Structure 1
Amino acid sequence: MKKLMLLSIAALAIISCNKETSAPEKMKTAYVDTSKLLEENTEAKDIEDKYKVKSEEMGRELRGEASRFQSEAAAFQQNAQLKGQAWAQAKGAELQKREQELSMKQQAMLQTLQQQSGKEMDSLIKRIKTHIKDYGKKNGYDYIYGTGDAATVLYAKDAYDITAEIAKEINEQYKGTAKKEEEPKTEEKK
């Protein structure tokens, strides 16, 4: 009886191993060059231009203060010998304090610009990732890989590159959003 039981278990095991499995579906994959996508992204360029202008405006303000400081420092050099050592020490300490304040102001401005632009770029990247995910679902992709600065694909055929398609869709979507934002402004002026 034990032999019969072992034979039937062995037969079941052999039969179950011989089952034909259905062929797996062909997977649809593609990749996006993320660094190229950001280079060609209209909104990213607009963000970069916006903060370049802000940086130049803040730089002009700082340059004005710095030139006033330099002229005071030059005057200090001339007056230090005439007005004596006590005056020179007091004025020197005051100038040092102003120099530190200028430096701190410059650092604060740079940090503010970096934080603001960083928030906008993070938001943009989040929207791009969402768009790629939606694109993949809409077009039946199983996987969409990313290449670029943080490469997750070491090699892919160019035929799988959908960067241009994604960039075109995102830029068109951004242009549509930008037009919607501009329309109320032109109506208000009328």
Structure 2
Amino acid sequence: MKKVFFLSVILTLLLSVSAFAQGKVGVVSLQYVIVNCDYGKAMAEKMKAKFEPMQKNIEKDATELKKLESELKNQDIALKLEAKQDKQREYRRKVRDHQDSVVAFRQKIQAESQKEQQPILERVQKVINEYGKAKGYEMILESSGGVLYAGDGIDITDAIVTELNKLKKAGK
């Protein structure tokens, strides 16, 4: 029992001493960095060019579905039961096809986005490491990873974006 008490006292003392150690801590928003750095902007343009035609097709299909639904409602009284059921089946099939297309589209975007972000994240990590060493930071945290408060001077996100943009302009 005395050993447990003795160990807990030592542990408490060690933790309190480390709490008073002077260390510089920074906070970075990776999402903000990716969206606002030149690499991220180039990726966004590439993604837009690649997926905009697919997006327009999906929107076109949605418009056609609304038109078909409207026709079904307007012709509801005039159609015979069998013709009405055929149109309803056709409409449900088209709705399922559209939903499948939307899901596939979102999955393609997500997969491509992850593939495109990987080299950017590697550059970001490199820049953060170099920036942290150069500026004397003990620790740099990601702001959405549980940081509930960060003072104004602790957020270095804009500085990281600036460093990344310098790296892109240098052609690296």
TM-score, normalized by the shorter chain, greater than 0.5? yes
**Contact 1:147–1:153, Cα closer than 8 Å, also in 2:** no
Specify whether residues 71 and 176 from structure 1 end up closer, same or farther in structure 2 by C-alpha distance, changes over 3 A only: same
For the pair 1:116 / 2:112, whether they are aligned, the reply is: yes
Aligned to 1:71: 67
Larger RCO of the pair (alpha carbons < 8 Å, separation 6+): 2
Alpha carbon RMSD of aligned pairs, Å? 3.5
Larger radius of gyration: 1
Aligned to 2:13: none
1:126 to 117, 122, 127: 122
Separation of aligned partners in 1, 2:68 and 2:149 = 58
**Contact 1:136–1:142, Cα closer than 8 Å, also in 2:** yes
**1:102 corresponds to which letter in structure 2?**
H
Once the two structures are TM-superposed, the CA of residue 55 in structure 1 deviates from its matched residue by 5.1
Aligned to 2:167: 173
Q: Which region of structure 1 is more displaced relative to structure 2, 164-173 or 139-148?
A: 139-148
Specify whether residues 102 and 152 from structure 1 end up closer, same or farther in structure 2 by C-alpha distance, changes over 3 A only: closer
Number of residue pairs matched by the alignment? 151
TM-score normalised by length of structure 1: 0.59
- SS at 1:177's partner residue? coil
Once the two structures are TM-superposed, the CA of residue 129 in structure 1 deviates from its matched residue by 0.9
TM-score normalised by length of structure 2: 0.64
Once the two structures are TM-superposed, the CA of residue 73 in structure 1 deviates from its matched residue by 3.3
| Overall identity of the aligned pairs, in % | 19
Separation of aligned partners in 1, 2:129 and 2:49 = 33
The gaps in structure 2 that reach 5 residues or longer are 1-20
**Contact 2:27–2:150, Cα closer than 8 Å, also in 1:** no
Aligned to 2:87: 91
Separation of aligned partners in 2, 1:90 and 1:117 = 40
